[in-house]
Amino acid sequence: MPDIKTRILILSDTHNQPGITLPNLPVDVAIHCGDLTSRSQIHEFHSAISLLKKINARLKLVIAGNHDYTLDAPFFWNQLAPSLAEKAAPELIVEKYGNPGEARQLFNSYSPEIVFLDEGIHRFSLSNGADLKVYASPFTPSRGPHWTLGFQYLPDQYHGFAITKGAVDIVITHGPPLGVLDEIIPSARKYPPHVGCKHLLKAIAQARPRLHCFGHIHEGWGAKLVTWRRDNIASGNDGGPDYEGAIDQDATITTETLDTLLPSQQDSPEVASERQRRLMAFWTDGYRYASHCANDPHPLTPGRNTLFANAAIQPSHKDTRNGGLQLPWIVDIELPATSTTP
């Protein structure tokens, strides 16, 4: 059976921000890539549920982010809660953060419309007839021992993302892979410019899903259609495979980034005017759109291409160009039709 055109709304890092309005355009599935909250307080999860319910989709898939740390029960109750107990009475902690498991149960109460995904592979039959297989993971590398929140591991630790080639169509993670829409704005701290996960890059380069969506790095907002190299992956400086080299940069197409979207001081008046016109048009729509189906100018070939989308809604506080919220993505891709065989 031919693949089925499927429309997907992608957003991330809403952080319980006021003023978020999502398009009412009907989509086949909506995906939230984590950081629904800012401080993981129970009232923030209620607000996040209210936002998700407004999306015009029968299925909404959600993962946690590092700010949603009460959903990481071992971290919260074994590490964070004891330190909070030194400053607040237990009943005040429960009032703010809920009882153990309360936030997770909140999502479960809205299933099957809203589905909270644990790490691993999940399968869904969409109402448009498409078969959707996703891999989800909330885990991201922290920036050091003093930056660790929920679902994080230290940069020198290994986290395996168990995705075999051809096993899934879409990968949903909170953070980006190394080198793809993961560049941060320089600061006084001596972080490398690219802060994505090298272990995730390896997994994606091997699995080559049709779509990989994420957020976490707010200034990395954007989308690009990556082309993977056909030849063998070269060796890196450590003698291991160079998975960054698995991307054919010359054949990769950048759909949009903040650098291509937002005006800058270096723009000529003509360029600045055109950028402002485009930006206002997207804001009127309420989303940034991309389509990579068979009849589009840049069709997505399974196994050869992966569409990456960073859909962080909250801007980086370090990006002075961006005074408002960032746009969600709506993308059209083709997915396999549902089969009656297992």
- Express each pLDDT in 208-238 by its tens digit: 999 999 999 999 999 999 999 986 566 555 5
Does residue 289 have a pLDDT over 70?
yes
For the stretch 307-323, what's the b/e string if a residue is b when 16 or more beta carbons lie within 10 angstroms of its beta carbon?
bbbbbbbbbbeebeebe
pLDDT-derived band at 342 (thresholds 50, 70, 90) equals very low
Q: For the chain, how many helices (H) and strands (E)?
A: 8, 15
| Contact of 32 with 61, CB cutoff 8 Å | yes
pLDDT at residue 236, as a whole number:
57
Question: Can you give the pTM of this predicted structure?
Answer: 0.94
Q: CA torsion sign, 313 to 315 to 316 to 321?
A: positive
Main-chain dihedrals φ then ψ at residue 208, nearest 5 degrees: 50, 60
> Ranked by mean pLDDT, which of 57-71, 92-106, 260-274 comes out on top?
57-71
| Contact of 201 with 179, CB cutoff 8 Å | yes
Q: In whole numbers, what is the pLDDT of the chain averaged over residues?
A: 90
Average pLDDT of the residues in 248-273? 92
Instruction: Give 135 or 21, the one with higher predicted confidence.
Output: 135
pLDDT at residue 152, as a whole number:
93
pLDDT in tens, 140-186: 998 776 667 899 998 788 899 999 888 999 999 999 999 999 999 87
Q: What is the set of domains in the chain, with CATH numbers?
A: 4-335 (3.60.21.10)
Instruction: State which amino acid sits at residue 28.
Output: D
Integer angstrom CA distances of residue 244 from 26, 196, 227, 235, 300: 36, 11, 12, 10, 20
| Contact of 30 with 59, CB cutoff 8 Å | yes
Average pLDDT of the residues in 292-318? 95
- Count of residues for the chain? 342
DSSP 233: P
| Contact of 64 with 72, CB cutoff 8 Å | yes
pLDDT in tens, 94-127: 888 888 899 999 999 999 999 999 999 999 999 9
* Cα dihedral 37, 135, 120, 235 in deg (nearest 10): -110
Q: What is the DSSP string of 142-179?
A: -SSTTS--TTEE-TTS-------TTS-SEEEESSPBTT
Does residue 339 have a pLDDT over 90?
no
pLDDT at residue 111, as a whole number:
94
Does residue 239 have a pLDDT over 70?
no
Instruction: Give 341 or 20, the one with higher predicted confidence.
Output: 20
DSSP E strands, 46-203: 60-62, 114-116, 120-125, 131-137, 140-141, 152-153, 170-173
pLDDT-derived band at 187 (thresholds 50, 70, 90) equals low
pLDDT at residue 341, as a whole number:
46
